[in-house]
Every structure is written in C-alpha cells, then in structure tokens.
Amino acid sequence: MADTPAAARRSERARAAILAAATELIRELSYPKLSIEAIAGRAGVGKQTIYRWWPSKGAVVFDAMLESDSGPRGLALPNTGDIAADLRELLRGSAAALIDPGFESFLRAMYIEIQQDPALAAAYRERLLLPQRAAIADRLSAGVGSGELRADLDIELAIDLLLGPIQMRWSLGLGGLTEAYADAVLDAALAYSRAC
C-alpha cells in the first residue's frame, strides 16, 4: 500500500531531520564517536527509521554529505568562455572545501568507510566521483571545441592532472592547500592541455 500524502510528508521530514542531524554531528564529533543512536536522538526518530533508509552509519553520512554539498548548478561547471577562469574557480573551491573543518570531516569519514564497505565505495564512485569527473570532462570538451585546449587532449589525463595533486596533498596531510597552490596546479595542467 502506498504512503498517504501525510505519511509521505512525515517520511520526508524524518529523512531531512536525519540528514541534518548527521551533518551537525559529524562536525561536532570524531567519526568513530558518531553513532546511529546519536543521529536518531538528534533527529528525534527511532533507530529503525534510519535503518529503513540506510544500511549503515557511513551510508547516512554519505547522503548527508551529498545533501549539504549540492549547489544550484548541481555538478555542472561554469562555462564563461575562459577555461582558465572556470578551472581556477573549480580548483580554488576544491582546495577550500578540503580544508573546511566541517566538509573535511565528511570526506575523512567517507575515506574510512569506503575502505571497509564495498557497497558504499560503489555508491561513492557512482553518485559522487564519476559525476564530478563527467562535469569536468564536459567543460574540458567544450574547451577543446572552442580551440582553447588542444584537439588531441586526453580528457581523463587532464582531469587527473587537475585533481590529483590537490587530492594527494589533502589525503596525505601535507597541507599547503592554498589558492596559490591551486593556481600552480592549474598552470601545470594547462601547460599540458592548451592548444599549441
């Protein structure tokens, strides 16, 4: 039997409360201290309500991360006609997000979970990583089409050159994720990617 409109609204309110609670708690607690019980208590729901939608703490945190990170453009990159400016915005934004204490805690939590949970790793890849890469590939392809980037550009390699250095510095805890570093990464990637 389908949910009544009132039940559907209650379900959506409960789901929103759970995601909001997870978002708040992951910013307040270390990931190992975060529990389904704590999320349920903060959201004002029972644990069974959480388990109706998510199989694990990591799955709740992942959905909360996606919910808090969705912007008005979704995953689309701007196309101002200036590839360097558009990619600069992407890389500076990525570096800033990675060092933001609230967002960083989400990502560190996901890195823990995807090492242990193959289903969550697949969801992370399918719902976040691959769509992000596809959005960047679309922008790079537009740059090839406009003549800003070389016609024989290896799009996958260009994406790796753009994202890899920033991701590596963050994941290894090397620090130095500044706008200047993001700009240097962009310059190096564009040296490979630009039309001669």
Q: How far apart (Å, rounded) are the C-alpha atoms in residues 142 and 149?
A: 9
Evaluate whether residue 145 is within a structural domain.
Answer: yes
CATH number for the domain spanning 123: value is: 1.10.357.10
Per-residue pLDDT of the chain (196 residues; tens, 9 = 90+): 455 666 667 788 999 999 999 989 988 888 888 899 999 999 999 999 999 999 999 899 889 888 876 554 456 788 999 999 999 999 999 999 888 877 787 788 788 888 889 999 999 899 888 999 999 999 999 999 999 999 999 999 999 999 999 999 998 889 899 999 999 999 999 999 997 6
Residues 6+ apart with CB under 8 A from 140: 83, 149, 153, 155, 158, 159, 193
Give yes or no: residues 176 and 133 share one domain: yes
Residue 138's domain comprises: 71-193
Evaluate whether residue 28 is within a structural domain.
Answer: yes
Q: How many structural domains comprise the chain?
A: 2
CATH number for the domain spanning 50: value is: 1.10.10.60
Give yes or no: residues 10 and 82 share one domain: no
pTM of the model: 0.80
Give yes or no: residues 29 and 80 share one domain: no
Give yes or no: residues 14 and 107 share one domain: no
